[in-house]
């Protein structure tokens, strides 16, 4: 019996779903970062690209196991991947998935374009993805596509918003900006007493890479919802910038 595979690979997680041809979901898998630019190489893999492929492979195999089928049963697979940006990226991912036999027909596209299949009846329009990172994509009626890739440097999702929140706390502590409720919220989150301790947490030579700042984004959104001026400015600024990239995608 033939089956199809759909994979969404992001910076926080990779998710795979296997379905029968009538759309019934039969199995799911979940793994780590699937972005070939940003996956943590650690000690097992020599570079981020191989680490990402390992995460994708793990995720797909988990979905296959859950569905009780083999990779040879997959007729078509679609990989919507953060980090599928340049032509060589598509070749790399396509080759890696073919080598693992993940589908007789394999299609790789940027994750900003994948959402249009579900959100538009004719696969056309503009998409804005705002996760750990951010991406914008567009598909025209004639099939032309564009995605923001490395063009989009001023609106980069929760990781950038969280960094903006930290910056607001640092400036407030120095008296450059007015007080903000982000300060007690973030200090509370990390169980710290002073802003200097917070700054040290993210900049000290030995531990600075151990903490993910995107976890602060919910605190930022809560503060904005409560009316904090600094938080509101950050959220509005990012929303406006995402809108500008969406307009740029439509023009492209």
Task: Inform me whether the pLDDT recorded for 107 exceeds 90.
Answer: yes
Residue 30 pLDDT exceeds 60: yes
Confidence of residue 21 (pLDDT cuts 50, 70, 90): very high
The residue count for the chain? 252
Which of 89-98, 143-152, 190-199 is predicted least confidently? 143-152
pLDDT over threshold 70, residue 154: no
Instruction: Give the mean pLDDT of 69-85.
Output: 95
Dist. CA 247–CA 252, nearest whole Å: 9
Q: How confident is residue 47, by pLDDT bands cut at 50, 70 and 90?
A: confident
* Tokens encoding 3: 């089956």
Q: What is the pLDDT at residue 146?
A: 94
Pick the CATH number of 3-119 from 3.40.50.1820, 3.90.1150.10, 3.30.420.40, 1.10.3720.10: 3.30.420.40
Rounded (to 5) percent helix, strand, coil in the chain:
45, 20, 35
Instruction: Give CB contacts under 8 A, 24+ apart, made by 174-182.
Output: 177/230, 178/229, 178/230, 180/223, 180/228, 180/229, 180/230, 180/231, 181/223, 181/226, 181/228, 181/231, 182/219, 182/220, 182/223, 182/228, 182/230, 182/231
Q: Rounded distance, CA 119 to CA 20, Å?
A: 21
Predicted structure pTM score: 0.82
Residue 82 has pLDDT above 70, yes or no: yes
For helices 217-225 and 157-173, angle between their N-to-C axes, nearest 10 degrees: 70
* Average pLDDT over every residue of 19-48: 88
The domain limits of the chain are: 3-119, 157-247
45 band by pLDDT with thresholds 50, 70 and 90: low
Tell me what pLDDT residue 93 has.
98
Q: Mind listing the pLDDT tens digit for each residue in 170-228?
A: 999 999 999 999 999 999 999 999 999 999 999 988 776 667 788 999 999 999 999 99
Alpha helices, H only, the chain: 48-67, 87-99, 111-119, 157-173, 182-190, 195-203, 217-225, 229-251
Predicted pLDDT of residue 63: 98
């Amino acid at each position: 019996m033939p089956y199809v595979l759909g994979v969404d690979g992001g910076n926080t997680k990779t998710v795979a779903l296997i379905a029968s041809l009538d759309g019934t979901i039969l199995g799911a898998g979940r793994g780590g970062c699937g972005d070939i630019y940003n996956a943590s190489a650690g000690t097992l893999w020599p570079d981020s690209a191989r680490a990402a492929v390992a995460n994708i492979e793990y995720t797909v195999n988990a979905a296959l196991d859950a569905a009780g089928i083999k990779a040879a049963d997959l007729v078509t697979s679609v990989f919507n991947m953060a980090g599928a940006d340049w032509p060589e990226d598509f070749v790399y991912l396509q080759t890696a998935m073919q080598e693992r036999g993940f589908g007789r027909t394999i299609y790789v596209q940027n994750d900003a374009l994948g959402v249009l299949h579900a959100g538009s009846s004719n696969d056309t329009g503009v998409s804005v993805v705002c996760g750990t990172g951010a991406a914008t994509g567009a598909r025209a009626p004639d099939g032309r596509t564009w995605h923001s890739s490395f063009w989009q440097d001023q609106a980069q999702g929760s990781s950038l918003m969280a960094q903006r929140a930290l910056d607001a706390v640092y400036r407030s502590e120095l008296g450059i900006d007015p007080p903000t409720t982000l300060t007690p919220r973030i200090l509370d989150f990390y169980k710290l007493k002073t802003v200097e301790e917070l700054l040290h947490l993210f900049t000290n030579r030995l531990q600075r890479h151990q903490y993910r700042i995107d976890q602060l984004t919910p605190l930022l959104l809560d503060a904005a919802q409560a009316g904090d001026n600094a938080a509101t400015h950050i959220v509005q600024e990012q929303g406006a910038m995402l809108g500008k990239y969406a307009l740029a995608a439509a023009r492209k």
